[in-house]
Amino acid sequence: MTADKKRFPMFFGSTVVLGCFLGMMGSSGSMMFTSIGVLVKPLSEEFGWGRDEISYGATLITFGIIIGLLTSGFLIDKFGARRVLIVSVVSSILVVATGPLYVASLPLFYTMLILAAIVGGPTNTSGYARVIASWFDRRRGMFIGINACGMGLGFAVAPFITDMAVNAGGWKAGYYAIGLFMFVVALPSVLFLIIDKPGDVGLQVDGDEHDNANEDAESETSPSLSLKQAMRTPTFWLMVYIVAALAFALQGTLIHLVPLLIDRGIEPSTAALVASSVGLSMGGARLIVGYLLDYLFAPRLAMVVFSLAALSIVLILFTNSLPLYFLAAVLIGFGLGTEGDLMAYMVSRYFGMRNFASIFSCVFSFYILGTGAGPAVFGRSFVTYGDYTQIHYISIGLMISAIILFAFLAPYDRYLKANKE
């Protein structure tokens, strides 16, 4: 294992894990989505656009990511994640960095956002999850969780970087700063740290010795399903419903948590502090649940995690206690921090690795759809009924149905064994 020790002096796959972490940190989704809040005021002052018009850009980013995911999954499986990620990151940088040169109207602003989201689609989990799942089998869950923490850090860093740049040079500087961050952090990571699979450098999955290694997850003899075959299984459609229902309920609750607390008499600064605890628990959830996925059956673990997340909505609906609001926020974050990683792990276990990106991109698109639809429907419900009670009841129902459906998911090897036979 000389090549292993030379290339990975810390532990097996260390530079690959670091590359995926940094790449996720500089993903187009984390950069573009979270920066909009900082740019709303300067854009409004510059062009006279309404805040609602600017905020609509977040919805366009959501749909752009879905398009990017659906169109890139096949390319990742066919040509390898690294090649597709390089093109994706370079294209994202060009779109964002040149945006200030041509954005002079609202349609052009929307064009920049949706183009950046589409070309950056592979950087939003699917490409990097493909690499991690190819390198690790026994510790796959743990490293998928670590990988996802990169995007969480990106969500935290992007507003800070954008705000500093805007204060120094206005909204244009904000987008230049985003492009520069992606150029300095994400691009070198993809170019110099990421390797598609251990076989490319003469190694085995998990760093096993050749004679005792498990069968390469992507070899021609290993069982794997195509996207069409996966879509013929009940498990695929159960996962699609589950991921959309959970994202709808939890993201809708999160986005409207601060205004709900303010409506109940909580000080705005305190309400924001409650909401910030969501981010902390998301990071913890990714590490804890990722570790447990390697030892526990994922659907059973998910039933426990999302039962606690459903409790958060019950606490918000039926209590009026600040400590319980903090507890609810922590439970929401635990659910949100689990969902995407759980689906990446389950797709790899149920359907194999050769077409992982195609299948995962399709499933993850429904997560993005739920993420985009939830806040909008919550807002419409508030306008219609004057509070969030009705939509909270619906969200609890959706979460209960998702938790129950986890119990109907098949054993991991059911479809892979049938396909091998």
What does the pLDDT read at residue 9?
A: 57
What does the pLDDT read at residue 355?
A: 94
Whether 242 maps to a domain, the answer reads: yes
Whether 85 maps to a domain, the answer reads: yes
CATH number of domain containing 319 = 1.20.1250.20
What does the pLDDT read at residue 361?
A: 94
What does the pLDDT read at residue 279?
A: 74
What does the pLDDT read at residue 67?
A: 94
Q: Which segments in the chain show pLDDT lower than 70?
A: 1-10, 209-222, 419-421
Three-state secondary structure call for residue 407: coil
In this structure, are 44 and 140 located in the same domain?
Answer: yes
What does the pLDDT read at residue 220?
A: 43
In this structure, are 226 and 194 located in the same domain?
Answer: no
In this structure, are 189 and 230 located in the same domain?
Answer: no
Whether 143 maps to a domain, the answer reads: yes
What does the pLDDT read at residue 420?
A: 63
The pTM for the full model equals: 0.86
What does the pLDDT read at residue 10?
A: 58
- Expressed as residue numbers, the domain containing 180 is 2-199
What does the pLDDT read at residue 213?
A: 46
Question: How do residues 174-233 score in pLDDT, each as one tens digit?
Answer: 999 999 999 999 999 999 999 999 989 888 888 876 544 454 455 444 678 999 999 999
In this structure, are 172 and 268 located in the same domain?
Answer: no
In this structure, are 290 and 375 located in the same domain?
Answer: yes
In this structure, are 241 and 273 located in the same domain?
Answer: yes
> Average pLDDT over the chain, rounded to whole?
88
